[in-house]
Amino acid sequence: MQNDSEMDLSSAETRDLRCIAGMMIPASKEFDVPGADDAIIFADIVKSLGRDRRDVRDALRVLCDLAGGAFAELDVARREEVAASFRVRGGVAVATLSRVILQCYYRDDRVVRSLGLEPRAPFPKGHTLEQGDWSLLDPVRARPKMWRDAS
């Protein structure tokens, strides 16, 4: 028998998760980015729950309790109120839910490009850093020794 952390989210849990993800990070025409409830991003979120599944499920239970039922079925104004209470309530489960949404959202190609970054793994290309002006050290070099003799 599967335990709570192994079972897939129910369809009601999935609807609530997608709804809160979209409220947390909505799509933006101004920045030309999808919301966290975008189909591709949300599929990544669900697929990536892994060891966080139990905490996410706990967070969704809190969300339902605050909503007095299915969160996704509330009207917009009430959802805003519940989402605000949910965030203020905090705790490990709520923080975990936020994290799993953020860590998938900010690796989506469209989102990464909108930040002016390349959508790629760091390896093998790496990055280039300015070597810098080491003459900045001249005033430090001119200081007397700072370490204490202790022999």
CA 104 to chain CA centroid, nearest Å: 6
Strands (E), 12-143: none
What DSSP letter does each residue of 26-61 carry, written as one string?
A: --BTTTTB--TTSHHHHHHHHHT-GGGHHHHHHHHH
Q: Which is nearer to another protein, 13 or 96 (CB)?
A: 96
Q: How far is the CB of 12 from another protein (least distance, A)?
A: 22
Measured from the CB atom, the residue of 11 and 77 that comes closer to another protein is 77
- Least distance in Å: CB of 124 to another protein? 8
Supply the minimum distance, in Å, between the C-beta of residue 39 and another protein.
18
Report in angstroms how near the CB of residue 67 gets to another protein at its nearest: 16
Is the Cβ of residue 13 or residue 86 nearer to another protein in the bound state? 86
C-alpha dihedral (119, 95, 42, 38), degrees to nearest 10: -80
For another protein, the closer of residues 11 and 88 by Cβ is 88
CB of 36: closest distance to another protein in angstroms?
A: 9
Q: Toward another protein, which CB reaches closer, 10 or 28?
A: 28
Which residues of this chain interact with another protein, rule CB under 8 A? 23-26, 28, 30-31, 33, 48, 50-52, 83, 87, 95, 98-99, 102-107, 112, 115, 117, 119-134, 136-137, 139-141, 143-151
Q: Strand, coil or helix: what is 22?
A: helix
Distance, CA of 108 to CA of 9 (rounded, Å): 22
Give the list of residues 6+ apart from residue 21 with CB closer than 8 angstroms, or none: 35, 36, 37, 41, 42, 45, 101, 105
